[in-house]
Amino acid sequence: MTVAAKICGLNDAAAVAAAVENGAAFVGFVFYPPSPRNVSPEKAAELAADIPKTVQKVGLFVDPVDELIRNVLDAVSLDWIQLHGSETPERVRDIKQTFNLPVMKAIKIDSAASIATASSYEGVADMLLFDAKEPKAMKNALPGGNGLAFDWKLLANTKIKSPWMLAGGLKSENIAEAVRVSGAHIVDTSSGVEFQPGCKDPAAIEAFLMATRAIETQKTG
């Protein structure tokens, strides 16, 4: 079993280098000003300049207007658009058609019922991303990157046919268990490799990706 990893919320050169050099399959840039991980299109272009084509670049947006996406794409070439807000299946389809890029759609999970909502995005989004739903009582909660995990058993034996990615509270210490319980083949982390919100730790990125590769060894060895 091969487990691919995405490091999201990158905003400095050292973090990008750590992700690329240690085998990340995807790197993510956040275009959402309330987030401490937000980058300008120009900064993203600077960071992306030396990323090899073998690593897929993802732009994260939250309920974006077309103008924002267009401004970003004018500055930096992306391989994926990630939608992390309340975008409807119709809006996802519209963004795909307008910008001719594959789309990841985040689904907020807190129960089996919330997983069922993913079915409406199948055949529309190219990949689903399951993330923990932020509690209503959580102060200053973001649409993602809150460092929260959900019950991974909810994804075990899921009937979802679309490719999907596991996110939410993942770090080097729990990634093996998360993959074992959920059955995920692709994983995503952001806050799990930071020393404070918005500040990536290259050593933690390396440790997370090493832990992910170790899962491959365990599965195939």
How do residues 41-95 score in pLDDT, each as one tens digit?
999 999 999 999 999 999 999 999 999 999 999 999 999 999 999 999 999 999 9
Domains, the chain, in order of start with CATH, read 4-220 (3.20.20.70)
Residue closest to 160 by CA, chosen among 199, 121, 111, 192: 121
- Region 4-25: mean pLDDT is 98
The per-residue pLDDT for 221 is 44
Cβ(22)–Cβ(14) under 8 Å?
Answer: no
The alpha carbon of residue 143 and the mean position of all alpha carbons in its chain are separated, in whole angstroms, by: 12
- Region 131-155: mean pLDDT is 68
Instruction: Round to whole Å and give the CA distance between 28 and 138.
Output: 24
Instruction: Round to whole Å and give the CA distance between 169 and 40.
Output: 25
Q: What percentage of residues in the chain have a pLDDT greater than 90?
A: 78
Residues recognised as catalytic: 8, 131
The per-residue pLDDT for 137 is 53
The per-residue pLDDT for 160 is 86
Q: How far is CA 93 from CA 60, 70, 83, 121, 143, in A?
A: 16, 16, 11, 9, 21
Write down the mean pLDDT value for the chain.
Answer: 91
pLDDT greater than 90 at residue 110: no
First to last CA, the chain: 10
pLDDT greater than 80 at residue 143: no
How crowded is the C-beta side of 78, counted as CA atoms within 13 Å?
29
Task: Give the least confident one: 47-51, 148-152, 170-174, 175-179.
Answer: 148-152
